[in-house]
Amino acid sequence: MNWKAAPLIHKDENRIALYFEKNQDLIQQVKQISGARWSQQKKLWHIPDTIENRIQFQIQADPTQQISLEAIHYLEKFKQWLQSKRYSQNTITTYSEALKTFLLFFPEKNIPEIDNNDVILFNNNYILHKKLSESYQNQIVNAIKLFFKIVMDTKIDIDKIHRPKRAKVLPNVLSKEEVKLILNAHSNLKHKTMLSLIYSCGLRRSELLNLKPADIDSKRGVVVIRQSKGKKDRITPLSQKILELLREYYSLYRPSIWLFEGQNAGEKYSEYSLQSVLKQALQKVGNTKLVTLHWLRHSFATHLLESGTDLRYIQELLGHNSSKITEIYTHVSTKSLQQIKSPFDDL
């Protein structure tokens, strides 16, 4: 393979950066690697930093990052348990790598002897020292709690492992006018249909790409979203305008397996290409915000709330487990704020 590989820390994750001249065949090979992602910021492809990938791409391990045979044994037991419980491959990879990072911090200590004080030490001397994010610390906590609860019989008191206090960050929301401009920016029917379906149904990126033609139930007027986050099925309303757009799209493209396919028949449209579709739309309408596909989902929920839809229904449409997650949209809705008169107007 005509590329070079090197360790990389990207968004608090240990990754492997791949360097190669632009070549469609090589890009397709990279896309087949589980967990491969494109970094728009760094302009490169990167993959999970796993033992298997290090061997495949001939990356020499850092002597300070050598994991013991004991740790490898326990990590394998942890992976096997996660697989038997049918956790998603992304979750298995995330938890395994998070736990590996934690165990590497105690190379001289027997794993059964690790206790709560060691967790505090790790948080202070590794996570806080490296200024890693709360979300990454949460991943570590999830992995540690599950590992010591299920695999180990140790001195760890699970209830005393505290999660970091989460920052209260409001979701990014576009106005209806901005959404309309973005959705109408593309003359390409497939691109327009994909972005429109994400907004009209409040879909996650993966949910759109996993749709099959049979999931569009025109008789019942719903879109069926199968085995989404948390391995749950749900339905969301299918608007008449979207149905007309989908029928036009289907008659032109005739997808065979996936509703939205790549250049080759039967090949699922890639996440990177979908993000590129949005980026092109933003450029065409002159929108300079750092908009992601998830902004369309946030905008869907907020616009529903502003039009008077009950929060409980929005929770069902989005597939949220808890109403507390959905309630965050009440903080960005402008419906009530617009009725408040500023005292400045009376000066």
Sequence spans of domains, the chain: 4-56, 67-160, 176-331
| Set 145, 229, 268, 284: catalytic member | 229
pLDDT, tens only, 125-177:
888 888 888 888 888 888 988 898 888 867 677 777 777 776 677 788 999 99
91: number of Cβ within 10 Å: 14
d(CA 170, CA 298): 10
* C-alpha R_g of the chain: 23
Active site residue 74: no
Q: Where are the beta strands (DSSP E) in 197-329?
A: 216-217, 222-225, 234-237
For residue 222, the SS3 value is: strand
For the residues of 93-107, what is the DSSP string, one character each?
HHHHHHHHHHHHT-T
d(CA 15, CA 229): 23
Active site residue 297: yes
Q: What are residue 14's DSSP bridge partners?
A: 9
Active site residue 204: yes
Place of tokens 């165990």: 103
| Set 10, 79, 190, 320: catalytic member | 320
Instruction: Report whether pLDDT(188) > 80.
Output: yes
Buried b (16+ CB within 10 A) or exposed e, 76-88: eebbeebeeeebe
Architecture of domain 176-331: Orthogonal Bundle (1.10)
| Set 100, 192, 297, 298: catalytic member | 297
pLDDT, tens only, 298-308:
999 999 988 88
Task: Note if the pTM is more than 0.75.
Answer: no
Active site residue 229: yes
Under CATH, to which class is 67-160 assigned?
Answer: mainly alpha
| Set 204, 212, 226, 268: catalytic member | 204
Q: How long is the chain? A: 347
pLDDT, tens only, 197-232:
999 999 999 999 999 999 999 999 999 999 887 778
Active site residue 191: no
**pLDDT range class, residue 71, cuts 50, 70, 90:** confident
Q: What are residue 324's DSSP bridge partners?
A: none
| Set 199, 249, 269, 329: catalytic member | 329
d(CA 198, CA 259): 13
